[in-house]
Amino acid sequence: MTSYINKTRNELILICKEQNIKGYSHLKKDELIKLLDVSASTIANTSIGTNIGANTVISSPKLKMIDLFAGTGAFSYAFEKTGKVECVFSNDSALWSKEIYDLNFTHKLTLGNLNDIKPESLPAHTILTGGFPCQPFSIAGKQEGFQDERANVFWKILSIIDFHKPSYVILENVKNLVSHDDGKTFETIKNNLTQRGYYLCFKVLDTAEITGIPQHRERIYIVCMKSKDLYSKFSLDFPSVPKAQIVSLLESEADVPSKYYYTSRSSTWELVKNNVLKKNTVYQYRRVYVRENKSNECPTLTANMGTGGHNVPLILDNKGIRKLTPRECFNFQGFPSSYKLPPISDANLYKLAGNAVSVPVVELIAQRLMKLAVE
């Protein structure tokens, strides 16, 4: 990019005239430099507004991101919502992920095993996000997980990082990742990222505490940055906010189909009837008892809600005792009502909701990071 720093204001105005750049007349020297620099780098078809002076709106290119293990696309949604990011590639191996992603985003998800995708075939990007699967770590204790590249997608993420060198990498996983295998798993993850020149900020964040969405969900977020300066200004400390009432996330009773309600014909009717007693409370069926969640929170939604049985949380409403609907599970993950659910099985919708990152948590991170990134 041309350096305009040694030029006078009048010379810069002349350059603007020559290049047919509009809106320069009231700008100070440093604003003119910004205008010329940004104008040089503007990509016509993807731009965001940057206000640099009175009535002067110029555009700068959006940062490109890729969303790995995209599931519902919650990462794409939250980062694109900042207005400063465009997702250029998303991937998941589950068909139901493609169905929900393609319904909600103009850009289409690439269906397939990430291990079969060559890093060099991916588009260039500045941001890489990934709520990577946690199962590989369950065998790390037997010293198999990190030894087996095919089984462990973390190595695949690293090979993509090695090729594309994104400025920001945002990873999410279960809280247990930190203590798994006596902390060795997390050490390996941290070492591999810092060796590649990243500064790491990580923290376990609880959806209920920092977003007001009443779901107890503790997940570790690892934000990796190439810039030491940006790292010194960034943090994952977010203030606690009051929790919304559970009823505010429920569908109107008239809209809830009868299939979600328990009846005296249900095999677990007696147990459920004797335990699910209060409204505005979410219950969870665990083995042979129904557990009440006492703190006006929905218990952590999990992918195994989609495997049938009694994993879906229960509530009592005016019509009776029922499971949360898939839409309500998406509400408890902070998805907006405009987020569409495709006509796929409830099992797959529950799985998608239980696997997702909470949208407002990622929004908090994305907004803070993108504000610093474009300053």
Ligand X SMILES: C[S@@+](CC[C@H](N)C(=O)[O-])C[C@H]1O[C@@H](n2cnc3c(N)ncnc32)[C@H](O)[C@@H]1O
Residues interacting with ligand X, by CB under 6 A? 69-72, 74-75, 91-94, 97, 113-115, 131, 133, 153, 355-357
Contact 340, 103 (CB under 8 A): yes
Distance in Å, CB of 124 to ligand X, minimum: 20
Distance in Å, CB of 23 to ligand X, minimum: 40
N-terminal to C-terminal alpha carbon distance within the chain: 18
Residue 94, Cα to own-chain centre: how many angstroms?
17
d(CA 251, CA 197): 47
Q: How many CB atoms lie within 10 A of CB 57?
A: 11
**Phi-psi bin for 287: left (phi > 0), alpha (psi -120 to 50), beta?**
left
Give yes or no: 134 in active site.
Answer: yes
Which residues pair with residue 203 across a beta bridge?
Answer: 221
Residue with nearest beta carbon to ligand X: 71
Residue of 16, 134, 201, 224 marked active site: 134
Q: Which is nearer to ligand X, 31 or 172 (CB)?
A: 172
Q: Which is nearer to ligand X, 160 or 316 (CB)?
A: 160
Q: Which is nearer to ligand X, 94 or 276 (CB)?
A: 94
Q: Which is nearer to ligand X, 70 or 224 (CB)?
A: 70
d(CA 69, CA 92): 5
Distance in Å, CB of 355 to ligand X, minimum: 4
Distance in Å, CB of 338 to ligand X, minimum: 17
Q: Single out the residue of 210, 200, 244 nearest to residue 358, CA to CA.
A: 210
d(CA 260, CA 328): 12
- At position 141, the amino acid (one-letter code) is G
The set of catalytic residues is 134
